[in-house]
């Protein structure tokens, strides 16, 4: 794709996300319909559904060749990364959305023949839209975002996930012990955005494709590293324990986890 076409697409997706934010804010003033998916800790609301409907329709309008993988099932059955693949999480941090009315995000990742191309993390209440990709650069609310400093694990706060830390999977307690301390927000999108800005040195959690697709595009565009916690590459079509970190922290963490 021509760079100018990609830049135009980037602006159009950001406009769609701003429109989605306004609708979500309006719906937060009404009574939410909340349902359990697999457990009492795994929720979905009418806003997850309606926002996914909206985002999927916008993507189809902008890219008639889109294959869409969306968390709540509004998209297509995507079995290959060939062609134009869009990966959508309409509300990331639904538990926070329901119980805090804060600390949740919308996420979209766009891959062309498997190549990270555009990514979006929208911190709705913080009103921060992280957007871009390797060819167009990364912005926050339209202003260029500088790559975070390449600090090591001992020099930063560690974005953890409660289950991995409590169950001490992948030596998580030893990893956290070397950092300046753990932080747990309950939204992969918010925590990955904090790695993009350098507020966190790393983030590690068991995630599904829509939890990490957008973050991978943005992280790699800023010189950060996203792999599985065993050091193998992430697979965009399956779940895994995913680590996103500065290059130095990634090396240190992968060595501890071995
Ligand atoms: P979600 O809100 O879009 O489901 C903390 O729960 C983080 O892990 C959130 O980003 C959440 O995304 C994600 N997550 C992934 N799988 C989950 C599950 N089975 N239950 C709850 N959260 C899950
Ligand atoms: Ca969910
Ligand atoms: Ca999610
Ligand atoms: Ca979600």
Sheet holding 66-70, edge to edge: 66-70, 84-92, 105-112, 115-123, 128-133, 137-140, 143-144
CA distance 176 to 57: 41
Q: What is the pLDDT of residue 253?
A: 98
Q: What is the pLDDT of residues 129-161, one digit of tens each?
A: 999 999 999 999 999 999 999 999 999 999 999
Instruction: Give the residue, by CA position, lying nearest to ligand 1 atom 18.
Output: 42
Who contacts 53 (Cβ-Cβ below 8 Å, separation ≥6)?
A: 74
Rounded Cα gap, residues 158 and 161, in angstroms: 10
Q: In angstroms, rounded to a whole number, what is the distance separating the alpha carbons of residues 28 and 14?
A: 21
- Give the span between the Cα atoms of 38 and 152, in whole angstroms: 37
- Within 6 A (CB) of ligand 1 lie 38, 41-42, 89, 92-95, 186-188, 205, 207-208, 211
pLDDT at 83 over 80: yes
Give me the CATH code for the 153-257 domain, please: 3.40.190.80
Predicted confidence at residue 1, as pLDDT, reads 87
Q: How far apart are CA 196 and CA 194, in angstroms?
A: 5
What average pLDDT does this structure show over 177-197? 98
Q: Which amino acid residue places its CA nearest to atom 22 of ligand 1?
A: 42
**pLDDT at residue 258 greater than cutoff 80:** no
* Beta strands 182-183 and 158-159, pairing class: parallel
Strand partners, 122: 106, 129
Tell me how far apart the alpha carbons of residues 38 and 255 are, in angstroms, rounded to a whole number: 34
CA distances 38 to 3, 41, 107, 177, 184, Å, are: 42, 8, 22, 32, 22
Domain ranges of the chain: 3-144, 153-257
pLDDT, position 257: 82
CA of 42 to the centre of ligand 2 (A): 6
- State the distance from the centre of ligand 1 to the C-alpha of 93, rounded, in angstroms: 6
| Topology alike, domains 3-144 and 153-257 | no
Res 233: pLDDT: 98
The topology (CATH level 3) of 3-144 is Fructose-1,6-Bisphosphatase; Chain A, domain 1 (3.30.540)
Considering the chain, what is the average pLDDT of its residues?
Answer: 98
Report the pLDDT averaged over residues 159-186: 98
Average pLDDT over residues 57-69: 98
Closest CA to 178 of 230, 248, 240, 229: 248
List pLDDT tens digits, range 14-44. 999 999 999 999 999 899 999 999 999 999 9
Q: Which long-range contacts (CB under 8 A, 24 or more apart) does 134-141 make?
A: 134/217, 134/220, 134/221, 135/3, 135/6, 136/3, 136/6, 136/7, 136/10, 137/221, 138/196, 138/218, 138/221, 138/222, 140/197
Q: For residue 81, which phi and psi values (nearest 5 degrees)?
A: -90, 5
Q: Is the ipTM of this complex over 0.90?
A: yes
Instruction: Kindly give the number of the ligand 1 atom that is closest to the alpha carbon of 205.
Output: 8
Instruction: Write out pLDDT tens, residues 197-228.
Output: 999 999 999 999 999 999 999 999 999 999 99
Kindly identify the ligand whose nearest atom is closest to the C-alpha of 51: 4
Q: Report which ligand 1 atom has the smallest distance to the Cα of 189.
A: 10
């Amino acid at each position: 794709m021509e760079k100018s076409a990609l830049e135009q697409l980037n602006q159009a997706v950001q406009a769609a996300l701003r429109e989605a934010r306004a609708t979500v804010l309006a719906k937060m003033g009404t009574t939410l319909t909340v349902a359990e998916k697999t457990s009492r800790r795994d929720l979905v609301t009418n806003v997850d559904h309606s926002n996914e409907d909206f985002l999927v329709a916008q993507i189809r309008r902008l890219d008639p060749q889109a294959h869409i993988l969306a968390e709540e099932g509004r998209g297509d059955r995507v079995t290959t990364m060939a062609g134009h693949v869009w990966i959508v999480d309409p509300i990331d941090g639904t538990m926070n959305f329901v119980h805090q009315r804060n600390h949740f995000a919308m996420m979209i990742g766009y891959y062309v023949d498997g190549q990270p191309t555009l990514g979006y993390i929208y911190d709705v209440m913080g009103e921060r839209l992280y957007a871009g990709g390797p060819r167009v650069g990364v912005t926050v609310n339209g202003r260029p975002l500088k790559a975070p400093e390449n600090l090591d694990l001992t020099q930063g706060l560690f974005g953890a996930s409660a289950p991995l830390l409590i169950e001490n999977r992948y030596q998580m307690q030893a990893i956290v012990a070397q950092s300046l301390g753990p932080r747990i927000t309950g939204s992969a999108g918010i925590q990955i955005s904090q790695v993009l800005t350098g507020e966190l040195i790393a983030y590690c959690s068991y995630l599904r494709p829509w939890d990490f697709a957008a973050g991978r595009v943005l992280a790699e565009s800023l010189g950060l590293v996203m792999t599985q916690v065993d050091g193998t590459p992430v697979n965009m079509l399956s779940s895994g324990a995913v680590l996103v970190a500065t290059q130095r922290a990634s090396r240190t963490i992968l060595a501890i986890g071995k």
